[in-house]
Amino acid sequence: MQNTAVKIRGLTKAFGANNVLRGIDLELPKGRVTALMGANGAGKSTLVKVLCGVHTANAGTVGLHGEPFMPSSPAEAISAGVVTVHQSINDGVVPDLDVASNLMLDELANGSGFFMNTRKIRAKARKLAEAIGLDVDVRREVSELGLADRQLVAIARAMAHEPKLLILDEPTSSLSAKEAGRLFELIDRLRAQGVAILYISHRSSDIKRIADRIVSMRDGKVSGVFEETPLDYEGAVKAMLGRSMSEIQLDIPEAGTPILRLENIVLQADSKPFSLELRDGEVVAITGLVGSGKSLLADVLYGQARLESGAMQLKSEAYAPRNQAAAIKAGVFRTPKDRATNAVIQDFDITKNITLPFMARHSIGGFVNRKSERTTTRRMISDLGIICQHQSDDIGSLSGGNQQKVMVGRWMAEASNLLVLDEPFQGVDIQARRDIGAKIRETAKGRATVVMVAEMDEAVEIADRIVVMADHTIKGEHRNENIDLNAVLAQVAGMESGQVNAG
């Protein structure tokens, strides 16, 4: 027990007749990073919610540093030293408060900071921010910060509790490479201090950088534990999915007629111009680090930003949408990458989340045609394999991966000329990623599809052609056959082709 932070034995949890956890046996060692992988429905979210006091287990035991541990609330879990940074950033911050208040919120809430003045609160907050490498004015409201800085505020707040077990749920999904690097350095320091870390992610790059071991879950049970160096990532995926990872063999069709032409466009005043053509039936992945320009390009295509210079043509007609409504009218649809903030409407059910942009399509004489809405929703639930009880379920009742399927389904439910998918696999497991990718490719004919992705394995799995962006311009294009991944990754890092060859 000396080296074990958390010991779980026979843990079960059921919701009615649905047995979600089926006898979990697991140990989380001190001073080690355990990567947890599992498909939607595997039980990993429920396991985390039991550990952080959201759910109470039906049976089994949990020990924390040798003492019985079964928290009845998140506050009780936090006070015991089990701290969770959730994937949904707004679960870890209060947007209407300033950074200092967010970092000191738990101390203020329990009364220990009652007599602290604003100057002392800000001074303590600055120390917390410095400890994680968060360079931000603690007087700013969190609502004014970008997504990455909000994530770092949530993590810095967690650090204030000096955790014995730190649970991180997809922590790099909104971070740039530099910001992720700072997070990894922080994790290294915590590991050296003996903190046990449960790191929920399917990103191979994250796992290879930070994990000491991988735990796979399937059907409510632990299906594999991988600790030998080098870590067997492919074996972990096999244990998670129940089958081997087969080689990706895409059937790349002949591209059709041009749908979108970008001619000598400049995204920012100091960036180089580039041209690009997207064709009917073609799926093009645009990859690059956070800040490479791929999301700005998505904004331009969807009428949310303007070009510095250059021209766009959509189906041989000049295209310069003034706003999102103009883009949609032209048949250009887009899924944003920040699902929680910019896509999911929490007060709506699954049906309304899918059909909302196309209410005219589902209305007769000013009245909503419920049958038409239900038919469309059932089709998307079936096509994308959305796991739910009923199409009228609240969107918040779904897992993150299934919410993402709903958001993709919203824009695939109607025919488009150009489908722009900005990080459609963010926060979803490998099986959900493949479900979404297969449906994107299956329905590609009749439109051009562009997919913005940060992870190279995602690009390879879905694209006919891979375009690399860095510094707000194109660094290279590659047909997805016998691709030289070293050259592609060098271009992602912003190296020119000559530098690639130079090694």
Query: Can you list the positions of beta strands (E) in 16-115?
Result: 18-29, 33-38, 59-64, 67-68, 82-85
Query: Do 282 and 441 meet the contact criterion of CB atoms below 8 Å apart?
Result: no
501 — pLDDT class (breaks 50, 70, 90): very low
Which of 185, 186, 213 has the alpha carbon at shortest distance from 199?
213
DSSP secondary-structure letter at 394? B
498 token code pair: 């000559």
User: Could you tell me the residue ranges of all domains in the chain?
Assistant: 4-241, 258-344+417-502
Q: Which of 163-167, 301-305, 366-370, 448-452 has the lowest mean pLDDT?
A: 366-370
Note the pLDDT of residue 388.
85
Do the domains 4-241 and 258-344+417-502 sit in the same CATH topology, yes or no? yes
3-state class of 264 per DSSP? strand
Note the pLDDT of residue 92.
66
Position 168: which residue type? L
Beta bridge partners, 33, equal: 197
Query: Do 22 and 219 meet the contact criterion of CB atoms below 8 Å apart?
Result: yes
pLDDT tens-digit map of 344-393: 777 788 998 888 878 777 888 778 888 888 899 999 888 888 888 888 88
pLDDT tens-digit map of 38-65: 876 688 889 999 999 999 999 999 999 9
Site of tokens 């035991």: 61
CATH architecture label of 4-241: 3-Layer(aba) Sandwich (3.40)
Output the average pLDDT for the chain: 85
3-state class of 139 per DSSP? coil
DSSP string, 397-409: GS-HHHHHHHHHH
Note the pLDDT of residue 308.
94
CA distances from 92 to 124, 299, 307, 453 (A): 19, 27, 35, 25
Burial of 182 (0-12, 13-18, 19+ CB in 10 A): middle
Instruction: Report how far residue 405's alpha carbon sits from residue 328's, in angstroms, rounded to the nearest whole number.
Output: 20
Burial of 448 (0-12, 13-18, 19+ CB in 10 A): buried
Provide the CATH number for the domain formed by 258-344+417-502 in this structure.
3.40.50.300
